[in-house]
Chains A and B, each alone.
Chain A
Amino acid sequence: MLKANHDILRLKNPELLLLLESGGFEPVVIESSKSGAPTFKYRGIYFHSLYDPAAEAKRLSAEIVSKRADWVILFGLGCGHIAQRLIEEKIERLIIHEPSLDILKAVLSKVDLSDILSKDAVYLTHTMPELTALLRDKLDGMDDIAVSKTAPYQQVFAEEHVMFINQVGNVHMTGRIGIQTDIVSRRDWIKNYFANIPSMRACQPIDIFKNRYKHVPLVIVGAGPSLEKNVHLLKDMKGRALILASVSAYKPLLLRGISPDFVIASEKVDLPEYFTEDDTNIRLILGEVSHPNMFRDRKVRNTFIYYNMLLQLSIEQARFWGSSYFPLCGGSVTTMAFDMGFMFGCDPIVFIGQDLAYGENKTHVSGSVYGRQELVFDPEKGVIVKEAYIKRQETQVSAYDLYWIKGQDNKLLASRYDWVTFHQWFEDYMKKTRKNGVVTRVINSTEGGAYIDGMEHRPLQDVIAWFIDFNAPCFVEDLIIDAEADGRRTVDIPALVKSFSTHRLSLEHIRRYAKRILGKAKALKRGLAAGGLDPSLEKDLKEIKTFEEKLFKETENIPFIWEAMVQRTYRIREYLKEDLLKDDLKQFRNDLETTEGIYEDIIAVCDECEPLVEGALKDLEGG
């Protein structure tokens, strides 16, 4: 390998360098094209023009360049002609995935690509997990991406190309889902948090179970269609393994005579259909942002709360409620249950019903909130799901885009955007866990469904044979009760009162500054209408800036205000990505209108939050 290439790889991707130095590659001859630039033939076909590869790269990259994406993701490095061209065109953020070590080895031995590879935001990957990790790390849901491949790479590495396209699409979609969740959910979460204050005072945080289940097997039960196949085995495990069910698996389990030790739920909307009429003995793990009705009619001693790191209010106040544990979350309750399993000290952690893919004509196990289902797969339109939902009279028809995920049998499985998101998270979590030296065994005993990289894949019978001691008495229930008795904690009311009082004061200040800014913006508009862009406007602009600085400073006391403003924040980011207009006056007007929008929203948020904060203070001071 050329020294310059070697040095860069050692610095930026030592694992790849190690692979390339391992030897045993199919030889690839790098030839000179008629223009002198390098090209090569692999598996009988040319990968670059034999005449003028640089000119061809220029043509091929023109379309990618025109997209002006935040990231360009290339399938195939080849001799680097396209990458070189993209860099010449000022594309600064580039991920290059080279599926062949044969090609990579030959190219890096003959072609100096150090200039390209040394750029800060140019990354070279070879394995799919490496690509996935990089995409997850670098891509933001707001980023536009352009994916590019050349005909020979697509032709020779057809299977790898399909995986590549799926993986890039899946990671990108996961990011967008995160944004969508932010936009749709944050305000509801904040409202639910305030509404749940009495419950947070009364119920224990989940922290009390920390390390209570050292080496106790934990089975996390999802409601995937495959649950049907091995759910009966849970009866054998009851009492000797902790059974933690997602809320959607709760009724299917009851239907089959299994009562889980815990049910975890976090829905921000009220979903009474997930529960039975007589489940006052259910032991619940609820998020602080769950719908208040989830807490209603439950026994306080059977309800445990966890706090989300995604909510500024929780980050600030969880410790005052007696909690210091924030479960990591991948978007579903089973992802949080997984993290809790580690906190509980469980080993092994076992999944069942975690399909993360469509089953045969089903999305969920029978007995869930979905009645009869009918799935129609259409490569063009995606999947159409006709289902009878428990709460509704009429059949519900929904269409989803199709996503593809690697199955346990190595074949691609049809999946849905949210399941793909969870899958990405599980793999990422496993990778980080192993990197941190955690040795807890994690076994995916789902019968079929997605393959989750980093987990063992074993049937539940094996888990029972290995870990369940039928000679020992049942012990799980006792451990729970012991933990409840030992883990009493106190709520720091004065600290909470102080925190909410600061919020109240800051809301007042923020509202006042926002109103002043709006007043100045209106004056600027009038000035513009009268005399156009004039230096006399500068005074108003300066004043706006001063008020903005004060307002931003004040928000440091009440950071959740930005979460309530999240929709506007994303809109601003989109706005800032737009091209500047040639017409300065028009641009200035647009900027001014955007500014007005921001502060109108801030005032609305203050109006909305103030009574919530007042209510919280009344609850706490009154209690």
Chain B
Amino acid sequence: MIEIYLDGQTLDVSFTDETRFREFVSELERELVKAKRSIVEILLDGKRVEDRAGAAFLDTHLKEAGEVRLLTVPLQEIVLDAVDLCQRHNVQIKADIAKAVEALRLGNSTEGFVFLARVFESADMLANTLASLYDTGRRYNISLFNEPPDIYLESLVKRLEEIRSAKEAGDTVLTADLLGYELLPLIGEMEKNCRANVKNP
């Protein structure tokens, strides 16, 4: 017989032999939206579920499990964590842009390209975090951005492509220009676009 705990409290749930975690989690999340909380961890028979969105977990029947423990946190906490992550990406990306630009302008292209690779990495992570944050906001019907971040993300991809082309052409001046005069202001705009940076939701 399965035992289900939500934040340490026993949860009485009625289900059939056919009920899978897909239906169970979906229903539970709907309820949690009202309470502005979100699941952050699931332990199945004492083991952490690594891929909560994966079929392996979602298609499992509840009857096959012995114990399920779900951990939730208030939405505000999630948003703040995500915003914090975005800010850290922003700081990192801006620092790496500055270092890449300086190195490229001074002719230290090897060093410049190392920082450039880090810019690409941080930009990728920033884009993913922003997309998740935007999804979360939409799900909970909270406006976290002044404008949908998609347009910024499109610009980001375009700029990164231009930078990649300049680098491949061996044009260090243009690469540094695009980093300093295009990408850096874009990152600033993306920062401003996130309302969560201004006040907590």
Contacts and interface: CB of A to CB of B under 8 A. Distances in A.
A151 B169 contact: no
Interface string B161-201: 00000000111111011001100000000000000000000
Given A149-B107, A150-B107, A47 B170 contact: no
Interface string B105-135: 1110100000000000000000000000000
Nearest to A153: B107
B173 A44 contact: no
Contact of A151 (B106, B180, B181): B106
Contacts of A150: 105, 107
A151 B172 contact: yes
Contacts of B105: 56, 59-60, 150-151
Interface string A129-171: 0000000000000000000011110110000000000000000
Nearest to A46: B173
B62 interface: no
B123 to A, nearest CB: 20
Contact of B106 (A47, A48, A60): A60
Contact of A49 (B106, B169, B170, B173): B173
B26 to A, nearest CB: 50
Contacts of A59: 105
B107 A46 contact: no
Classify chain A's interface size. 10 to 19
Given A56-B105, A59-B105, A60-B105, A152 B173 contact: yes
Nearest to B170: A45
Contacts of B176: 49
Interface residues of B, number: 15
B153 interface: no
B97 interface: no
B160 interface: no
A151 B170 CA distance: 11
Contacts of B172: 45, 151-152, 155
A65 to B, nearest CB: 15
Contact of A47 (B104, B173, B180): B173
Contacts of B104: 151
A562 interface: no
Most buried by A among B169, B173, B176: B173
Contact of B173 (A34, A45, A149): A45
Given A60-B105, A60-B106, A151-B109, A44 B169 contact: yes
B107 A154 contact: yes
A510 to B, nearest CB: 53
A275 interface: no
Contacts of B177: 46, 49-51
Interface in A1-57: 34, 44-52, 56
A86 to B, nearest CB: 16
Contacts of A47: 173
Contact of A46 (B106, B109, B171, B181): B171
Nearest to A43: B170
B166 to A, nearest CB: 9
Contacts of B170: 44-45, 155
Nearest to B172: A151
Contacts of A149: 107
B20 to A, nearest CB: 57
Interface of A: 34, 44-52, 56, 59-60, 149-152, 154-155
Given A49-B177, A52-B181, A56-B105, 9 more contacts: A44-B169, A44-B171, A45-B171, A45-B173, A46-B171, A50-B173, A150-B105, A151-B109, A151-B173
Report, nearest first, the 6 A-B pairs whose CB atoms are least far apart: A151-B107, A45-B171, A46-B173, A51-B181, A151-B172, A154-B107
25 contacts: A45-B169, A45-B170, A45-B172, A45-B174, A46-B171, A46-B173, A46-B174, A46-B177, A48-B173, A49-B173, A49-B176, A50-B174, A51-B177, A51-B180, A51-B181, A56-B105, A60-B105, A150-B105, A150-B107, A151-B105, A151-B106, A151-B107, A152-B173, A155-B107, A155-B172
